[in-house]
Amino acid sequence: MLFCSTTPLLLLQLCSGLSLDTVRDFLTREEDTIVFSLIERAKYPLNPPAYYVPAYFAGRRHDASFAELFVRESEAVQAKAGRYQSQQEIPFFPFRVPFPLAPPYNFTSELYSAAAFVNVNDEIWSVYFSLLLPLLAKNGDDGSYAATVASDLVCLQALSRRINYGRYVAEVKFRGDQQNYTTLIRNKDKDALMKLLTSEAQEDAVKRRVQKKAMVFGRNVTLDGPVETGDSNNGRASFKVDPSLVYKLYGQWVIPLTKQVELQYLLHRLD
């Protein structure tokens, strides 16, 4: 774990070794990031014009929403700065950049290269805008479309990172039980693989923990006395993001999509 002192520390990064523990630590830390990003998005109302297609600007019509245009352009800037060089993050709109301006860094690759491309960014995009946003943000339009979509991008990146991390989860599981997995992969036995990848007890713990984080991070912190815990008549109104929405997000989308990634990765693991 990282401490907040100034002494140099050993960092639990992929390059120092992939294990079930490092993978779990990463996923657990990513929960905080996801909850923060949802809370920050919920600061703005829905702002529907940001998502209308087509978008009009500079006198031209674009067959994409303002949100999509903004994300494309942002990812291009980030790519120029060297993002997406490690395999850990995958852009929503792949962009070929010949000369990243970032100082070079030798990232070790822990993933099997033929399977590293596996991702579900298209599904994440669609779930986020069609299903999650309407539940997350209040109705309304305050005109701050750029800030709104910038915060959408942060949510998307966090969800994408977490869900596509399934590749690392799958890699660790594969290495831990190579014979068994190899047989199932050769037989393309998706059901059996999915069974191996599923632990209901663990998934339940994850959902409950992330729901709790939404309660802790989304509360209204004041200096007077104990803070509302949400079980009084105030209920959910006192949280910036509905904790049960976060529970649902993980249960219906984050965990299943992560397992999809794990499965797809494994199916390519012997290519």
Q: H or E element: which one contains 55?
A: strand 55-57
> What phi and psi, each to the nearest 5 degrees, are found at residue 55?
-100, 145
Enumerate residues 22-51 that contact another protein by CB under 8 A.
Answer: 29, 32-33, 36, 39-40, 43, 49
CA 90 – CA 76 distance, rounded (Å): 12
Minimal distance, residue 137 CB to another protein, in Å:
15
Query: Contact, 140 vs 43, CB < 8 A?
Result: no
Smaller CB distance to another protein: residue 212 or 268? Answer: 212
Single residue of 98, 188, 223, 271 touching another protein by CB under 8 A: 223
Q: Which pair of structure tokens corresponds to residue 146?
A: 């750029």
Single residue of 162, 213, 259, 269 touching another protein by CB under 8 A: 213
Single residue of 61, 96, 98, 103 touching another protein by CB under 8 A: 103
Enumerate residues 123-152 that contact another protein by CB under 8 A.
Answer: 141-147, 149-150
AA letter at 102? A
Enumerate residues 56-95 that contact another protein by CB under 8 A.
Answer: 56-58, 66, 70, 73-74, 77-86, 89
The answer to the question of residue 192 lying near another protein (CB under 8 A) is no
Cβ atoms < 10 Å from Cβ of 223:
4
Enumerate residues 226-265 that contact another protein by CB under 8 A.
Answer: 226-227, 229, 240
CA 255 – CA 119 distance, rounded (Å): 14
> What phi and psi, each to the nearest 5 degrees, are found at residue 128?
-60, -50
Minimal distance, residue 175 CB to another protein, in Å:
23
Applying CB under 8 A, what is the total number of residues that bind another protein? 71
Residue 131: DSSP 8-state = I
